[in-house]
Structure formats: structure tokens, C-alpha cells
């Protein structure tokens, strides 16, 4: 059974930083690509970043240059370092394993506001 637990969200001022974590269980984590999505208020869920099993990364245009996705296979955890945050980054952030598209965690709320 796939389990995903996101953490690290919070309230941050514009220009600030946060590091999100996603602890995974129930599947061979190191073999699978992982991705972050987000869903802002009144918006569709949207792709943010992906990291392959070999640590190739892909970013949405909105994340390029500001966000960094990484993984620690020893800890079965994927991270999202978010810098230069903007109010438009306000959303619930979710992680997901590409091979298990219907399994999602509860998400972690990120609010960017002064």
C-alpha cells in the first residue's frame, strides 16, 4: 500500500523560503520517479517538479530557477526546496509517485503572504 506523508509547509513572507518533505512507504522508492504537484485556491492541481530514479529533474516554468527537487533514497524521502516565494505559490503541495498516479498524500499547506 502506497503511503505518502508531506510536511514542511507553513506561512512565509514573499521572498522567503521553505523546504517541503515527502516520506514515502509501501513501494521500492529508489526505483521510482517522484513528483510534486500543487493546488491553489480555486485552481486545478498543477505539476511543479519531477525527479527520476536516476535524479534527472524536470520543472514547471513557474518553478524554474526558484525551486529544487531532490531525493534521499536512504530515507525514502523526496524534497522540494522553494526559494523566492511569491503569493502565487500559495497552495496545498502534494507528492506523488509517477507509477502510482492515484495515490496521494494529505498535502501540506504553503501560504505566502505579508
pLDDT of res. 27: 96
pLDDT, tens digit only, all 114 positions of the chain: 999 999 999 999 999 999 999 999 999 999 999 999 999 999 999 999 999 999 999 999 999 999 999 999 999 999 999 999 999 999 999 999 999 999 999 999 999 999
Cβ–Cβ under 8 Å, residues 110 and 88 = no
> What pLDDT, on a 0 to 100 scale, did the predictor assign at position 81?
98
What is the β-pairing status of strands 108-112 and 91-97? antiparallel
In this predicted structure, what is the pLDDT of residue 79? 98
Query: What are the strands, taking DSSP E only, across the chain?
Result: 3-7, 10-12, 18-25, 34-39, 45-51, 57-59, 67-72, 77-82, 91-97, 108-112
What's the rounded Cα separation, in Å, for the pair 46 and 38?
5
Res 8: pLDDT:
98
C-alpha cell at 102: 492515484
Please count the residues of the chain.
114
Amino acid at each position: 500500500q502506497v503511503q505518502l506523508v508531506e510536511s514542511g509547509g507553513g506561512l512565509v513572507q514573499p521572498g522567503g523560503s521553505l523546504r517541503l518533505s515527502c516520506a514515502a512507504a509501501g513501494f521500492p522508492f529508489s526505483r521510482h520517479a517522484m513528483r510534486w504537484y500543487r493546488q491553489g485556491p480555486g485552481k486545478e492541481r498543477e505539476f511543479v517538479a519531477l525527479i527520476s530514479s536516476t535524479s534527472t529533474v524536470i520543472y514547471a516554468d513557474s518553478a524554474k530557477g526558484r525551486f529544487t527537487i531532490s531525493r534521499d533514497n536512504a530515507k525514502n524521502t523526496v524534497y522540494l526546496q522553494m526559494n523566492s516565494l511569491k503569493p502565487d505559490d500559495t497552495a496545498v503541495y502534494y507528492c506523488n509517485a509517477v507509477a502510482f498516479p492515484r495515490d496521494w498524500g494529505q498535502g501540506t499547506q504553503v501560504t505566502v503572504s505579508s
